[in-house]
Amino acid sequence: MNRLAAHVVTNWKIITMTFEIFWIVVFALQAAGAGGSEVAQFVYVNF
Amino acid sequence: MLDLWRFEFYNSAAFWVALAGAVLVVRAGHKNPRRGAWALLACSSALLVAIPRFGIRDLALVYGVAALSLAVSRVLTRREGAVPEQARRVLALLGVAAMLGTLAVFKYHWVQGIFRPDRRSGVDAPADFVFLIGVSYFSFKAIHVVVESYKRVIVDLDPLAYFNYLLFFPSFISGPIARYSQFVPQLQTNGRGTLGPDLKDGAERIVHGLFKKLVLVQLVYPYVITNPARPLAAQSAEGILLGLYAFGAYTYFDFSGYSDLAIGAARLLGFALPENFNRPFLQKNIREFWTNWHMSLTSWLVDYVYWPLARWLRNFEYFRVRPVTLSVACMTTTFLACGAWHGESWNFLAWGAYHGIGISAVIVYQRQKRKLRSRTVQKYFASRASRVLGSVATAHYFTFGIALFALDWDKLRLVAATVFR
């Protein structure tokens, strides 16, 4: 368990990036399939 | 043909293809900084006109505003004695007023209504409103350069560098608001010798931004209080509270995600932009929250609203002998300005006042805290528990304040009636 934890800590960046890229691809494909995002893009000020 | 060159920034495949092209073009000029700067300006101009609702006319307007502020700043940076000091002061004030006027005209319906002949007929449809994307940000950058030129902090203004600074496309729409002295030297280096790290760090940052924008935003948006699919009238008190929490998370993921994308895209081009967010929801009070939320805006407001106001108010005996009152007055005014900058409706002013009052309360609280002599209390204030409690309270203070930001008066009344029934 300690060795696993050590591996996770050492490779934390790669694990995070892989996780994020995977879900980006999933959600992007879902959005493309649905004909684009229906979520309002929040422009954080009125121009 | 022109329709092909129309895409949302960061939210379309076409943008990423265009960005890759811009990186190649700009990076190709790294051996000749001047050529690289021209390439960057050309890329910025080309990409800006691709933004929907931003065309050649809008680009020309931005160039016009940039040229005006550049002309003012160039006069202010003339050698000492070349321009009388009184004239410099008046010119600087006029320059700042012109930039604020530009901001007001393109941001506030009522200002534009003054200049519209059809106003008397009562025609004031939103579709008639002439807006200019990015005006909130490039006007603040222009004011920064005018003021720093007046103070002689900026002593040399190159037109090409200045236009690049104002029109830099990764941060044009919503920041971060870079400082001139931080941005311009990078035009000289033009990413020379840093291609590998820039591509790696830039790509990593873009991945983080896309994860926040495409994944996390999608997950929380169904629950936000402003989602049309969740009408307020149909919500219970718990549903409204969930909506507020979700909106706070949505605001953070979307805006910090955008900032990640802007910073990452700039890094691919070989430019470092200032950070905009630093774990704001882990901060122990609302004062520290605002030094870690939309940081580039907060620091601009502190430098160009808070400190000038504080220096002026110190001329008055009443404020000179009451430093806490001075601080409270300046902070509240600064955040009223922050609210007004976000939008023209009264709810933005109320939101700004809410945060100004919150920060002022922290200032008073921290001053009073120092007077307490109890060792137990002092130990508590230094403890982790105090910090955790502070973070939770701060996150809630910001989240509940979001209601003022997101909802109009009728919806606020509905929320209050439901929650406090």
Residues in chain A with CB shorter than 8 Å from the CB of B8 are: 41
Please give the pLDDT value at position A35. Answer: 61
Put simply, whether B343 touches A (Cβ < 8 Å) is yes
Q: CA of A4 to nearest chain B CA: how many angstroms apart?
A: 24
Put simply, whether B214 touches A (Cβ < 8 Å) is yes
Dihedral angle of Cα B289, B294, B297, B303, to the nearest 10 degrees = 30
Tokens of B116: 């519209």
Residues facing B277 on adjacent strands: B293
Is the Cα dihedral B7, B10, B14, B17 positive or negative?
positive
Please state, in angstroms and rounded to a whole number, the distance separating the CA atoms of residues B71 and B142: 11
Q: Which residue has the higher pLDDT, A4 or B305?
A: B305
Output Rg (C-alpha) for chain A, integer angstroms: 17
Q: CA of A30 to nearest chain B CA: how many angstroms apart?
A: 10
Half-sphere exposure of A4 (CA within 13 A, CB side): 1
For A4-19, what is the mean pLDDT?
92
- What is the complex's ipTM, to 2 decimals? 0.84
CA-nearest residue to B53 within chain A is: A47
The answer to whether residues B154 and B182 touch, using CB atoms and an 8 Å cutoff, is no
Contact between B221 and A17 using a beta-carbon 8 Å cutoff: no
Residue to test with chain A: of B139, B173, B218, B258, most A Cβ within 10 A: B218
How many A/B residue pairs have CB atoms within 8 Å? 66
Tell whether omega for the bond before B176 is within 30 degrees of 0, i.e. cis.
yes
Choose among A41, A34, A45: nearest CA to B352. Answer: A45
Residues in chain A with CB shorter than 8 Å from the CB of B173 are: 43
Please give the pLDDT value at position A38. Answer: 54
Please give the pLDDT value at position B209. Answer: 96
The answer to whether residues B419 and B237 touch, using CB atoms and an 8 Å cutoff, is yes
User: What one-character DSSP code corresponds to residue A28?
Assistant: H
Please tell me whether residue A41 adopts helix, strand or coil conformation. Answer: coil
Residues of A with CB under 8 A from a CB of B: 13, 17, 20-21, 23-24, 27-28, 31, 37, 39-47
Q: CA of B208 to nearest chain A CA: how many angstroms apart?
A: 7
Please state, in angstroms and rounded to a whole number, the distance separating the CA atoms of residues B375 and B23: 58
Residue to test with chain B: of A12, A13, A30, A46, most B Cβ within 10 A: A46
Please state, in angstroms and rounded to a whole number, the distance separating the CA atoms of residues B178 and B373: 43
Contact between B254 and A44 using a beta-carbon 8 Å cutoff: yes
Cβ atoms within 10 A of the Cβ of B276, count?
Answer: 26
Q: What are phi and psi of B25, to 5 degrees?
A: -65, -45
Please give the pLDDT value at position B312. Answer: 96
Residues in chain B with CB shorter than 8 Å from the CB of A13 are: 204
Please give the pLDDT value at position B388. Answer: 94
Contact between B342 and A37 using a beta-carbon 8 Å cutoff: no
From the list A24, A37, A47, the residue facing B107 with the nearest CB is: A47
Please give the pLDDT value at position B123. Answer: 46
The answer to whether residues B157 and B77 touch, using CB atoms and an 8 Å cutoff, is yes
Residues in chain A with CB shorter than 8 Å from the CB of B342 are: 44-46
Cβ atoms within 10 A of the Cβ of B256, count?
Answer: 24
Q: Which amino acid is at B152?
A: R
Q: Which residues in chain B show pLDDT less than 50?
A: 120-123
Contact between A47 and B211 using a beta-carbon 8 Å cutoff: no
Contact between B135 and A47 using a beta-carbon 8 Å cutoff: yes
